[in-house]
Amino acid sequence: MPYFSPETNEKYLLQAAAEICMAARTAPKGKGKDLLVTAVVSETEKKALIERMLLISERDSLPFFARDAGNLERSPVVILFGSRKDPLRLPHCGYCGFDDCDAMLQAGGTCSFNTGDLGIALGSAASRAADLRLDNRIMYSAGKAALELGLLGEDVQIAYALPLSVTAKSPFFDR
């Protein structure tokens, strides 16, 4: 008996998610300091993300959070990517807008390299998903909801999500 539509089996999407996380992990990082946190969310966590996104949409009058929540509902697998907030303490930097790392920390700012490194890792992750021809979309909205829920831990204060889908028409197209 043939095995029909193996590409829609969640087991294979989870394998792909592991490859996508590996691509993000091996992306270049400032001073070689690995602050990246990756996580594949469970069905329970995905439901909590969707609920929080809908809450944010209503609470803050941001309709695109509700639209993105609908995209997550149609995505069997969702990966979270975050960066721990830890300055690189590069001399004569100031890219964050502060004189030095201590001033940035005191003001509650974020090291530009933390954000930049996360962006490079996200690019690698989305590229690997594209290599596998998976429908995917980097989402700030789901990352923000994950932060509010504390899904990546207290020390992660910057996050994005990458939902994955295998369908005849991408749920992220014509949004």
| pLDDT score recorded for residue 20 | 98
Span 64-88, pLDDT tens digits: 999 999 999 999 999 999 999 999 9
How far, in Å, CA of 172 to CA of 70, rounded? 10
| pLDDT score recorded for residue 28 | 94
Nearest 5°: phi and psi at 155?
-80, -5
**At residue 175, does pLDDT exceed 70?**
no
**At residue 174, does pLDDT exceed 80?**
no
Q: Is residue 168 very low, low, confident or very high in pLDDT (cuts 50, 70, 90)?
A: confident
Q: Is residue 22 very low, low, confident or very high in pLDDT (cuts 50, 70, 90)?
A: very high
DSSP string, the chain: -----GGG-HHHHHHHHHHHHHHHHTS--GGG---EEEEEPPHHHHHHHHHHHHHHHHHTT-HHHHHHHHHHHT-SEEEEEEEE------TT--TTSSSSHHHHHHHT---HHHHHHHHHHHHHHHHHHHHTT-EE--BHHHHHHHHHHTTT-TTEEEEEEEEEE-SSS-TTS--
| pLDDT score recorded for residue 15 | 95
Q: Contact 5/63 with Cβ under 8 angstroms?
A: no
**Helical axes 63-73 vs 140-149, angle rounded to 10°:** 90
| pLDDT score recorded for residue 29 | 94
Nearest to 157 by CA among 85, 97, 107, 80: 85
How far, in Å, CA of 104 to CA of 73, rounded? 38
For the chain, domains (ranges, CATH) are: 6-165 (3.40.109.10)
| pLDDT score recorded for residue 3 | 67
**At residue 47, does pLDDT exceed 70?**
yes
| pLDDT score recorded for residue 44 | 96
Span 91-133, pLDDT tens digits: 999 999 999 999 999 999 999 999 999 999 999 999 999 999 9
**pLDDT mean over 14-39:** 96
Span 140-161, pLDDT tens digits: 999 999 999 999 999 999 999 9
| pLDDT score recorded for residue 11 | 85
| pLDDT score recorded for residue 167 | 87
